[in-house]
Structure 1
């Protein structure tokens, strides 16, 4: 299994950051590369099994399934069902933790995956981390 990872420290509290991150259907509000998100089928998008269909600014489409949403530990885990990315067997967790000495928050975005045929783990990791970085920067802009 290969991995990708990105993290950021926020001055806002973990609860404030979690309020945005936990919204499985809310990615377009803070990820600059995502134009729209719809929950496929019935449901509120907060129950494991929910599938979101994301539309990128370039018109690309991603289908992702919510695996777990843990409000007590501030963790959201999802998997890619279908996406134009050089990965397969992709599972990812966003985790928001409090920073004790500042009252801020520490957010990590960690994924495990297999590189798709024709791609190396390093190439796939670079693609994923290039998507995580502007997403967390976008989250900083809406929290500020």
Structure 2
């Protein structure tokens, strides 16, 4: 199984950061490549099983299912149902942790997947990480 990973440290507290990250339907608020998100099934967006339909600024669409939302651990996990990405079996977790010495937050975004046929694991990871980086940069702009 291949992996992709991105992380960042925030000056905002873990609770403040988590309050934004936990909003499964809120990704377009901080991901510059997304213009819309709609819950299209399975619950209200805070219930495992909820399915969101993301629309990119380029018109591409992504269907993702919320697998887990753990407020105590500050973890949100989801899987791709359908997307124009070079991966299969994609499952990802965003995890917000407190930074003890600064009172800030550490956010990690970790995914496991199988590369699609004709794509190497490194090529697929590069595509995913190229999406994570601007998303996390966008998150920095909406929480201080």
**How high is the TM-score relative to the length of structure 1?**
0.99
CA drift of 1:142 comes to: 0.5
Alignment of 1:141 with 2:136, yes or no, is no
Which residue of structure 2 aligns with residue 64 of structure 1? 64
Give 2:46's aligned residue: 46
Q: Which runs of 5+ in 1 are unaligned?
A: none
CA distance in 2, matches of 1:50, 1:42: 4
Show the counterpart of 1:90.
90
**SS of the residue aligned with 1:15?**
helix
In the other structure, the counterpart of 1:120 is 120
Name the SS for the 2:25 alignment partner.
coil
Question: What's the CA shift for 1:119?
Answer: 0.6
**Runs of 5+ unmatched residues, structure 2:** none
Residue pair 2:42, 2:51 contacting (<8 A) in 1 also: no
Once the 2 structures are TM-superposed, how far is the Cα of residue 118 of structure 1 from its aligned partner? Answer: 1.1
CA contact (8 A) 2:42 2:49 kept: no
Tell me the distance in 2 between the aligned counterparts of 1:42 and 1:72: 22
The answer to whether the 8 Å contact 2:53/2:64 transfers is yes
Q: Deviations over 1:61-108 (max 9, x none)?
A: 000000000000000000000000000000000000000000000000
Please state if 1:79 is matched with 2:79. Answer: yes
DSSP 3-state at the match of 1:25: helix
For this pair of structures, how many residues does the alignment match?
144
Q: Which 4+ runs in 1 deviate beyond 3 A?
A: none
Write the distance in 1 (CA, Å) between the matches of 2:42 and 2:119: 35
Deviates more, 1:41-50 or 1:91-100: 41-50
1:28 aligned onto 2:25:
no
Normalised TM-score (structure 2): 0.99
